[in-house]
Structure 1
Amino acid sequence: MSESRPTVRRRRLAALLVKFREEAGRTSEEAAERIGCHRTKINRIENARLGISLGELRDLLTFYGITNDTQIDEMVTLARRGRAPGWVQRASLARPSYSDFIGYEETSDYIRSFQSNLIAGLLQTGDYARAVINAAQAGLSSDEVDSLVTARLERQSVLQQSKPPRLSVIQGEAALRIAVGGRSTMAQQLDHLAKMAQHPLIELQVIPDRAGAHAGLFGSFVLFGFPHRDFSDVVCVEHRTGTLFMETPEETAEYTLIFDSLRSIALSPEDSLELIASVRGAL
């Protein structure tokens, strides 16, 4: 990731370092003296333009009076993962905001996703993802498509990490029925969807067509929640040329209400699996 576009993790680390320094009543000059550097380095770290070594980080946290082991571990994790891996950088060539989306996905502990016409990205198979990407971005080269498919599948590793996020997905029935990639691809996708719904931290519900008009008709969205109290929820709404991120309390509260409304009219997880099986059987 270039210095001009810091990752979400680095920005979050920088924001917390500023917060902790100010709460401790320390100046940037004092912080610089503590770790033996010039004040401009502290400014660049706090502006998320420069990374920080783990030794410097631990020294500053001690200087700021941070002794809670959980907080320290969270900060160390952010510092270690502050640079996006190569697959994120390659995928982001087509859509720079994608790296931010991945950053939110990797640092959240609760993901709520409503998808009206497509299977949620974290639950897609490779063939399904390829068909979607080819249809949505026809101008991409085969290498670029490969990079985006790789990114889609690499993202799913968050569900296998030691502390995976809770994932609550609400799918529109249309997402089960639109024949993305053809019969074979959809059969594999629906089988995979049913399998993933068995994961203890995944809740999958489907809004049946018979539910009629509902708040989700205005578009799909993803709502991220984070373990640290200083990080606000983030709403992500994908559009044709990028992703809109919203973080104000008013915006996130509105989308939380929408998601809860959709959950209330969706089928139960058990009935949703029955509908998935029915659609799969009709292929």
Structure 2
Amino acid sequence: MQDEDRRRYHDLRPDWAESYIRLERAASLIRTYEVQFVPGLLQTPDYARAVLSVVHDDPGEVERRVGLRIRRQALLDAPGGPRLWAVVDEAALRRMIGGRELGRAQLDHLVALAERPNVKVQVAPFHFDGHAAAGGPFTILRFPDRDAPDVVVLEQLSGALYLDKPSDVEQYRRVMDRLCTQVEPLDRTAAILRAIRAEL
């Protein structure tokens, strides 16, 4: 994100979010598990607007936050940008934030994004009784510099917890690896998304 963008959106980002955006930009691989919403990097503008409107009352602030989210998504188009591997709980895909039409458009967007070589999307369906990441959502950021440790980010209502202790990171990495083998395989993603869309 360029300096002009930093100035434009600075008041919207608390220190913890500023740190996360910097780490996200520097990452070579972003692995995330989400249970309530479609991950921010995969949201359509309308979906992002609906999600942000749940928390923020001021329409002008919502629009600026949508703009910031869309600018963050440019990472996925940037040469040398990070790869994204997202596991999304079926509940997040079926939650009707903003209505059925918006939900269908978001699912279409996910199908298109999942066809990109730098984006992987898997679905954690309802029919799984339990899985390795039952504790909640998290993100693992990996960096191109081998000397830079991976960072686990646990986002909370008013902040985020950043874990870089090797034993903590390894635990979350193992959980993510197990999760990716327990949920639906990558080659089923498009069919699952389309089936959910047809039921909306």
Which interval holds the TM-score relative to the shorter structure? over 0.9
Who is 1:90 aligned against?
11
AA paired with 2:169?
Answer: T
Higher relative contact order (CA 8 A, sep 6+): 2
Cα offsets for 1:220-242 (capped at 9, x unmatched): 01100001122111111111111
Task: Pick one of 8, 18, 28 that aligns with 1:109.
Answer: 28
Structure 1 Cα separation of the partners of residues 73 and 66 of structure 2: 11
SS of residue paired to 1:216: coil
Q: What are the residue-to-residue correspondences of 1:179-258 with 2, within 5 Å?
A: 179-258=96-175
RMSD between aligned residues: 1.8
Q: Deviations over 1:87-120 (max 9, x none)?
A: 441321xx33111111111000011010112101
Distance 2:84 2:9 in 1: 21
| Partner residue of 1:146 out of 63, 69, 91 | 63
Question: Share of identical aligned residues, percent?
Answer: 31
Residue in structure 1 matching 2:41, options 98, 106, 122: 122
1:113 and 1:221 in contact (8 A); partners too: yes
Contact 1:131 1:181 (C-alpha < 8 Å) held by counterparts: yes
Residue 182 of structure 2 is aligned to residue 265 of structure 1 = yes
| 85, 95, 99: which one aligns with 1:168 | 85
SS in 2 for 1:181: coil
User: SS where residue 133 of structure 2 aligns?
Assistant: helix
| C-alpha distance in 1 between matches for 2:58 and 2:5 | 23
> Which range is displaced more, 273-282 or 207-216?
207-216
Q: Which amino acid aligns with 1:122?
A: L
Any idea what SS the aligned residue of 2:127 has?
A: helix
- The 2-side partners of 1:150 and 1:86 are apart by 13
Q: Distance in 2 between matches of 1:171 and 1:163?
A: 25
Deviation for aligned residue 1:180 = 1.1
Q: 1:164 corresponds to which letter in structure 2?
A: G
Is 1:156 the equivalent of 2:105? no
Q: For the residues of structure 2 that align with 1:128 and 1:229, how far apart are their CA atoms?
A: 36
Q: Distance in 1 between matches of 2:196 and 2:5?
A: 39
Give the whole-Å Cα distance in 2 for the aligned partners of 1:143 and 1:243. Answer: 25
How many pairs were matched up? 200
CA distance in 1, matches of 2:107, 2:71: 20
Q: So what's the TM-score if we normalise by structure 1?
A: 0.67
Larger radius of gyration: 1
